Amino acid sequence: MADLFSVTAPLAIRFRDSGEKQIMVERLPYADGLLFLPAFWTDSEPQQALRYVAGPIAGDGPWKVGNAIVTVLACHGTDAELASEFSAWQGRLMELGDAYPSRSDIETLMKTLAASVAGIDIRHPGFHKVAGDEPA
C-alpha cells in the first residue's frame, strides 16, 4: 500500500492488549513510534487528546506500531461504530470550517506538546521528516 504518513484515507488504530479502537485524524512520526490525535480532539485540551504509540513502525498497510495495528478505516463495512464516529467527525469538521487549524499548525502543536513532555526541543531528531516539511 503506502507509507503510513502519506496515506490520505481515514485510519483506525487498534491496541492489541486492550482491544481499544480509535480513529486517527492527525498523525506524525515521533522517535520510535508515532503521535496522533483522535476524532473530536478539538473538544478537549490538546495535551489530553495527544496520543503517543511507542514501537517501530512496520508494514505497508496494515501497519504495526508497537502493540497496535493501524488500518484504513472501511466506512462501508467492517466497523460500523468507527464508521459512525468518523461520519460524526466529518460533520464536526464542517461545523468548524476555517476554525480548524491548518496541517502545519497541528504538526507544530503536536511537536510542541510532545517536546514539552519529553523535555526536548521541537527540532530534536526524534521528529522525523514528514512529507511536506521541506523548506520553501
- Which residues on adjacent β-strands are paired with residue 13? 22, 70
**pLDDT value of position 130:** 44
For residue 77, is pLDDT > 70? no
pLDDT digits (tens, 9 = 90+) for 53-73: 989 999 988 899 999 999 988
Q: Which of 27-31, 83-87, 97-101 has the lowest mean pLDDT?
A: 27-31
Other beta carbons within 10 Å of 81: 8
Considering only residues 134 and 128, tell me which one the structure prediction assigns the higher pLDDT.
128
- Alpha carbon distances (Å) from 14 to 19, 91, 109, 125, 136: 6, 23, 24, 27, 36
How far apart are the C-alpha atoms of 43 and 30, rounded to whole Å? Answer: 24
pLDDT digits (tens, 9 = 90+) for 100-121: 999 999 999 988 888 777 666 6
- Alpha carbon distances (Å) from 64 to 76, 82, 101: 23, 19, 28
For residue 123, is pLDDT > 70? no
Map out the domains of the chain as residue ranges: 11-118
The 10 Å CB-count burial string (b at 16+, else e) for 38-48 is bbebbeeeeee
**pLDDT value of position 127:** 58
Of 39, 38, 52, 22, residue with least CA distance to 115: 52
